[in-house]
Amino acid sequence: MVLYGLKTCDTCRKALKALNADFVDVRADGVPQEVLAEAQAHFGDRLLNTRSTTWREMDEAARQGAPLDLIAAHPTLMKRPLIVDGDQMYLGWDKATQAALGA
């Protein structure tokens, strides 16, 4: 199991504490393009965190880019945590994700 997130994100830290997962800091290490593409196919627009500070600081022209290109350029735009468990993917750390992962 791999958890993609930010080491400074409280939600990511809670998820990591509850799970036995490898942690990848998206700011330092990025997310492999194939994982991002699969997550985009699975979650669609929900993958892009439009409530983030980074998003709010972007001008309207910059926001028009393709979601995967925006996340590649600004990893903090990805909603987190993104949890990959075998062939299953989970986005966020809500009750449904916790129940599905037995946390």
9, 21, 26, 83: the active-site residue:
9
Domains in the chain, CATH or no CATH each? 2-100 (3.40.30.10)
- Examine the residue annotation and report whether 12 is marked as an active-site residue of this protein: no
| pLDDT of the chain, 103 residues: tens digit per residue | 999 999 999 999 999 999 989 999 999 998 999 999 999 999 998 999 999 899 999 999 989 988 899 998 899 999 999 999 999 999 999 999 999 998 7
In this predicted structure, what is the pLDDT of residue 39? 95
In this predicted structure, what is the pLDDT of residue 9? 92
In this predicted structure, what is the pLDDT of residue 17? 94
- β-bridge partners, 85: 88
Handedness of CA 69, 72, 77, 82 (dihedral sign): positive
CB 77 within 8 A of CB 1: no
